[in-house]
């Protein structure tokens, strides 16, 4: 059982034990419900058994008491010597027969966490325990074991960390499956929950290890952060998915929760690519294909395309659209706000405009940039023929004959050719109406000098 300690005073030996409790050894672990359950690291006596001493609870019913417990007492009739100290030294001691729970009246108990951390008397409170074979304890006999611990503010007012994403709890050491994700940067927002804690939760650092098929882990939230008891806070992190297939990393959240001081979550998912297709009036235009828009008036022309991601399992992001190799046209512009995100299995609209300079053939190449894996950019050649706007009868002049033919087309008296209808649509709204004839008439008689 170890060597005998005869005539040794705990008042002397206990103070040495107290001094040994200034570091992490013997630090109190906060209670899980109303009691501390985890075992402690204790001061070592090489001549006898280490006693596992742990904090149980702080009682304030009629008077204030501290309860500690010896988890591994030596079987038989043994006596326990307890000493409690604050920053000023030994303040109480007791020897009791078979007393596993020890209550110590500590009148200066803190009223709340703030009082504990900032008030008086200061914490931590040290506890030293020895087990002896006689009721006189240190006055003679055999000491079989000893141990010690610290009771501090984290012990009395413990934090309790929980982690949620989208309102769903993620347990410590669990896996968070984020599903199928597009390649490139992705962001995750978690809720750090301290609603079950009675003390403030300190989140010191968030790190990532064991990264597989992902990189660039970053923490957007400013750290360290303090979450008061009963409250929550957001944690935002980001990473890059490098290629198609499974990806994974371990995220470690360092905090002051007594039994979850490193909250570990394995983040996993599958990197996927979207699948772009472009349609015009319901018809597919393949990558590298051409669209003939027919006969159009000179001036600005607007075209609306459907961007299709129905075959994709992750969002499609259209980041740009630009023109090249322009002939008899220019001033290409994208009217849709970019980037345009098209959800998996869905479609979106891409509206572009350009100006045809003069009557005759026009063409250009339109390139659509996106995060598609093998069709970036998506290239379409747009071509057509421009007529002289307003010169409905195509005789090279604007006169009353053009006004008359425009009215006849507007009221259905004559059908008109495609080129005539395009020239008669002087306001560019896609249809020939009385308004077009009125604009032409104003131009012919000199009320206006330009067309819309």
* Residue 28 · residue 149 · CB < 8 Å: yes
- What count of other Cβ atoms lies within 10 Å of the Cβ of residue 141? 18
- Closest by alpha carbon to 419, among 439, 443, 440, 389? 389
Looking only at Cα atoms, what is the longest distance across the chain? 130
pLDDT in tens, 334-372: 999 999 999 999 999 999 999 998 888 999 999 999 999
Instruction: Quote the distance between the C-alpha of residue 244 and its chain's center.
Output: 21
Please give the CATH topology (third level) of the domain spanning 277-387.
Immunoglobulin-like (2.60.40)
User: Which tens digit of pLDDT belongs to each residue from 272-322?
Assistant: 999 999 999 999 999 999 999 887 767 788 899 999 999 998 999 999 999
pLDDT at 119: 67
d(CA 38, CA 427): 81
- Does residue 45 register a pLDDT over 70? no
Q: What phi and psi, each to the nearest 5 degrees, are found at residue 17?
A: -60, -40
Q: For 359-408, how does the pLDDT look when each residue is reduced to its tens digit (9 = 90+)? A: 889 999 999 999 998 999 999 999 998 877 788 988 767 789 999 999 99
**pLDDT at 99 exceeding the cut of 50:** no
Confidence check: pLDDT of 143 > 50: yes
Query: To the nearest whole number, what is the mean pLDDT of the chain?
Result: 80
Provide the CATH number for the domain formed by 10-156 in this structure.
2.60.40.10
What number of residues does the chain have?
Answer: 452
Neighbouring-strand partners of residue 308: 277, 347
> Is pLDDT larger for residue 258 or for residue 250?
250
Decide: 300 and 335 in contact? Cβ < 8 Å.
Answer: no
CA distance 249 to 100: 45
Domains 10-156 and 162-272 share a fold: yes
Give the pLDDT band of residue 126 (cuts 50, 70, 90): confident
Among 2-6, 16-20, 41-45, 110-114, top mean pLDDT goes to 110-114
pLDDT at 17: 37
> Three-state SS string across the chain, please?
CECCCCCCCHHHHHHHHHHCCCCCCCECCCECCCCECCCCCCCCCCCEEECCEEEEEEECCCCCEEEEEECCCCCCCCEEEEEEEECCEEEEEEEEECCCEEEEECCCCCCCHHHHHHCCCCCCEEEEEEEECCCCHHHCCCEEEEEEEEECHHHHCCCCCEEEECCEEECCCEEEEEEEEECEEEEEEEEEECCCCCCCEEEEEEEEEEEECEEEEEECCCCCEEECCCCEEEEEEEEEECCCEEEEEEEEEEECCCCCCEEEEEEEEEEECCCCEEEECCEEECCCCEEEEEEEECEEEEEEEEEECCCCCCCEEEEEEEEEEEECEEEEEECCCCCEEECCCCEEEEEEEEEECCCEEEEEEEEEEECCCCCCCEEEEEEEEEECCCCCCCCCCCCHHHHHHHHHHHCCCCCCCHHHHHHHCCCCCCCCCHHHHHHHHHHHHCCCCCCC
pTM for the predicted model, two decimal places = 0.58
* CA-wise closest residue to 315 among 343, 340, 277: 343
The proportion of the chain whose per-residue pLDDT surpasses 70, expressed as a percent, equals: 72
Q: Which residue has the higher pLDDT, 437 or 123?
A: 437
Domain ranges of the chain: 10-156, 162-272, 277-387, 400-445
Q: Tell me if the domain spanning 162-272 has CATH number 3.40.50.970.
A: no
pLDDT value at 111 more than 90: no
- How many Cα atoms within 13 Å fall on the side-chain side of residue 354? 26
């Amino acid at each position: 059982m170890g060597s005998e300690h005869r005539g040794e005073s705990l008042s002397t030996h206990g103070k040495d034990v107290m001094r040994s409790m200034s570091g992490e050894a013997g630090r109190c672990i906060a209670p899980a419900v109303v009691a501390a359950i985890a075992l402690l690291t204790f001061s070592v006596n090489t001549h006898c058994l280490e006693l596992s001493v742990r904090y149980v609870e702080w009682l304030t019913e009629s008077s204030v008491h501290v309860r500690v417990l010896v988890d591994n007492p030596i079987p038989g009739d043994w006596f326990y010597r307890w000493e409690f100290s604050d920053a000023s030294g030994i303040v109480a001691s007791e020897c009791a027969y078979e007393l596993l729970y020890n209550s110590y009246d500590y009148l200066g108990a803190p009223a709340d966490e703030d009082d504990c951390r900032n008030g008086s008397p200061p914490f931590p409170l040290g506890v030293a325990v020895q087990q002896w074979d006689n009721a006189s304890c240190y006055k003679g006999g055999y000491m079989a074991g000893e141990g010690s611990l610290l009771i501090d503010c984290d012990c009395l007012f413990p934090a309790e960390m929980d982690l949620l994403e989208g309102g769903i709890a993620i347990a410590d050491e669990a896996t968070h499956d984020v599903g199928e994700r597009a390649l490139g940067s992705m962001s995750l927002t978690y809720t750090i929950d301290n609603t079950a804690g009675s003390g403030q939760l300190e989140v010191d650092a968030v790190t990532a290890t064991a990264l597989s098929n992902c990189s660039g882990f970053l923490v957007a939230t400013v750290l360290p952060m303090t979450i008061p008891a009963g409250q929550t806070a957001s944690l935002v992190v980001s990473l890059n998915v490098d290629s198609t297939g499974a990806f994974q990393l371990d995220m470690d959240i360092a905090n002051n929760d007594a039994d979850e001081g490193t909250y570990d979550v394995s983040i996993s998912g599958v990197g996927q690519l979207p699948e772009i297709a472009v349609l015009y009036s319901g018809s597919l235009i393949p990558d590298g294909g051409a669209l003939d828009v027919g006969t159009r008036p000179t001036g600005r022309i607007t075209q609306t395309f459907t961007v299709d991601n129905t075959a994709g399992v992750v969002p499609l992001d259209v980041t740009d659209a630009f023109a090249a190799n322009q002939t008899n046209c220019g001033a290409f512009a994208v009217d849709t706000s970019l980037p345009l995100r098209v959800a998996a299995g869905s479609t979106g609209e891409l509206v572009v405009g350009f100006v045809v300079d003069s009557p005759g053939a026009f063409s250009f190449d339109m390139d659509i940039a996106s995060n598609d894996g093998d069709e970036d950019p998506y290239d379409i050649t747009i071509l057509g023929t421009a007529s002289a706007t307003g010169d409905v009868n195509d005789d090279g002049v604007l006169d009353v004959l053009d006004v008359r033919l425009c009215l006849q087309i507007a009221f259905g008296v004559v059908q008109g050719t495609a080129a005539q209808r395009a020239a008669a649509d002087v306001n560019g709204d896609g249809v020939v109406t009385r308004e077009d004839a009125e604009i032409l008439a104003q131009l012919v008689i000199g009320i206006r000098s330009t067309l819309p």
